[in-house]
Amino acid sequence: MSKYQKIQIKQAVGVVGAGSFGLTIAGLLAENVEDILIYTRREENKAKMQARKGEYAQLSPKIRVTTSLEEVAKDCQLIFPVVPSKGFRNMMQQLGPLLNPQHFLIHATKGLDSSLAPKEGKIKPEHIKTMSQLIELESLACRVGCLSGPNLASEIQEHQPAATLIASKYTEVIKMGQAALRSPRFQVYGTHDILGAELAGALKNVVALAAGLLGGKGLGMNIWALLVTRGLSEMIHIGKAMGADVKAFLGVAGIGDLIATASSTKSRNYKAGVALAQGTPMREIVGADGDMVEGFRTLEIINQLCQALEINSPIFEIVHRVVFKGMELERAIHFLMTYPYAVDVDFL
Ligand SMILES: NC(=O)C1=CN([C@@H]2O[C@H](COP(=O)(O)OP(=O)(O)OC[C@H]3O[C@@H](n4cnc5c(N)ncnc54)[C@H](O)[C@@H]3O)[C@@H](O)[C@H]2O)C=CC1
Ligand SMILES: O=C(CO)COP(=O)(O)O
């Protein structure tokens, strides 16, 4: 047992979603937990994972694989859902009926959901849900949390040190998450501001995408720093309009993750921006990695929200035009460089 562990976790811990970050979380859990159950939808993946073949060769022997959500809900009190936002509600509609108020759910998805919005007409703030709100909507689970921070999966898989934030209204969820994940290679902070942590994690992907656009054009660090600073300011304004506090945006899940994602060629959001700037058609990027560029979905949802609430967010608006309306990047940069900004720090 790790010396950081205050609560001893004796039961199996579940991970739903056997992608890059689900496997990373399972690997972190293996430092503290004896029995980890990871859910994959695909039988062929289950076979490969069980045989520890190919990309699964390094899987800890403590990790069991299942294609049964019933088994996850029955065996595990603590479950980490780690599926892209696009599939999250659908996943919860299957998992939700199997859960009860004794379950603890800590998701790690950095995105938003707008599936409750009507097909026609304007989106309203109440149509936009974070993943913790979807968990509450689709299940009886109330001990809900989120994990968010500068956590590029490949670095953690290489055992490089990193930190994250577990956010929940419930202290017991934060403590349980810390006990499960904390180790000398993974620092885990805690906060009760779950909305702030979720929004910071989702919104930073859009700024990372924008940073990739600049990187793809070969632009330097001055404009990168300007983008990140003003992008953070817009993230905070949008977050506040959605009911969040400023704090999370200034911590590991906000500025911390923003720096990591907006400067790393390991980030899929950053890489998508680079590809767009270098002329790769949108359909090719979406075709290759579409669900995984969370920033695209978030950008569409936030653009509608900003219009509905008349939020002034020039960077988000112009990135939307570049990504979805074919605006030339040079024009977009000119627009922002001549934008009548007046105040530097306007969110404190
Ligand atoms: N990869 C990373 O560095 C990090 C990713 N995240 C977040 O984690 C989430 C997942 O990302 P990755 O694991 O990297 O993506 P991925 O594409 O590698 O894996 C996603 C997995 O979810 C599965 N999945 C999709 N829909 C499902 C459903 N309805 N039911 C069950 N499984 C389903 C897919 O089959 C796939 O195995 C994203 O929201 C991402 O922003 C957060 C921190 C770091
Ligand atoms: O959120 C992440 C790192 O903290 C992962 O970012 P990407 O989804 O852009 O790869």
C-alpha 291 to ligand 2 mean position (Å): 12
Give 6 or 203, the one with higher predicted confidence. Answer: 203
Instruction: Give which of 136, 142, 96, 87 is closest to 115, Cα–Cα.
Output: 87
C-alpha 289 to ligand 2 mean position (Å): 13
Whether the complex's predicted ipTM is more than 0.95 is answered with yes
pLDDT of 303: 96
Give 224 or 57, the one with higher predicted confidence. Answer: 224
Q: Is 122 helix (H, G, I), strand (E, B) or coil?
A: coil
User: What's the mean pLDDT when you consider all of the chain?
Assistant: 94
CA distances from 313 to 180, 196, 207, 289, 332 (A): 38, 18, 12, 27, 13
Q: Side chain identity at 62, as an amino acid letter? A: K
Pick from 156, 252, 267 the residue to mutate for probing ligand 2's pocket: most ligand atoms within 8 Å of its CB.
267
C-alpha 130 to ligand 2 mean position (Å): 17
Instruction: Give which of 294, 280, 283, 135 is closest to 207, Cα–Cα.
Output: 294
Q: Side chain identity at 200, as an amino acid letter? A: A
21 in contact with ligand 1, CB cutoff 6 A: yes
User: Are the CB atoms for 82 and 95 separated by under 8 Å?
Assistant: no
Q: pLDDT > 70: what percent of the chain?
A: 97
| Structural tokens at position 5 | 């562990």
Confidence class for position 1, pLDDT limits 50, 70, 90: very low
267 in contact with ligand 2, CB cutoff 6 A: yes
Please determine, for residue 2, whether its predicted confidence score (pLDDT) is greater than 60. no
| pLDDT per residue as tens digits for the range 289-305 | 556 899 999 999 999 99
Pick from 15, 16, 21 the residue to mutate for probing ligand 1's pocket: most ligand atoms within 8 Å of its CB.
21
Give the containing element (helix H, strand E) for 304: helix 294-309
Q: Catalytic amino acids?
A: 204
User: Are the CB atoms for 219 and 278 separated by under 8 Å?
Assistant: no
| pLDDT per residue as tens digits for the range 247-259 | 999 999 999 999 9
11-28 average pLDDT score: 97
Give the containing element (helix H, strand E) for 118: none
Lowest mean pLDDT among 106-115, 157-166, 277-286: 277-286
239 in contact with ligand 1, CB cutoff 6 A: no
Is 268 assigned a ligand-binding role in the annotation?
yes
C-alpha 83 to ligand 1 mean position (Å): 4
Please determine, for residue 318, whether its predicted confidence score (pLDDT) is greater than 50. yes
| pLDDT per residue as tens digits for the range 140-173 | 999 999 999 999 999 999 999 999 999 999 999 9
pLDDT of 288: 60
User: 102: exposed, middle or buried (C-beta count within 10 Å: 0-12, 13-18, 19+)?
Assistant: exposed
Report which protein residue has its CA nearest ligand 2's atom 8: 268
Domains of the chain, CATH where assigned: 12-192 (3.40.50.720), 203-337 (1.10.1040.10)
157 in contact with ligand 1, CB cutoff 6 A: no
